[in-house]
Amino acid sequence: MSDCLFCKIRDGLIPARVVYRDDTCLAFEDINPQAPTHLLFIPLKHIATVNDITSEDREAVGHLFTAAAKVAQQRGHADSGYRVVMNTQRDAGQTVFHIHLHMLAGRPLLWPPG
* 95 is an interface residue for ligand AMP by CB under 6 A: yes
Cβ within 8 Å of residue 79, ≥6 positions away: none
* 94 is an interface residue for ligand AMP by CB under 6 A: yes
* 46 is an interface residue for Zn ion by CB under 5 A: yes
100 flagged as catalytic: yes
* 98 is an interface residue for Zn ion by CB under 5 A: yes
Residue 53: closest CA among 88, 27, 1: 88
CA distances from 83 to 50, 74, 78, 104, 112 (A): 18, 15, 10, 5, 12
Near ligand AMP in 39-78, by CB under 6 A:
40
Which positions are catalytic? 100
Q: Which residues bind Zn ion (CB under 5 A)?
A: 4, 6-7, 46, 98
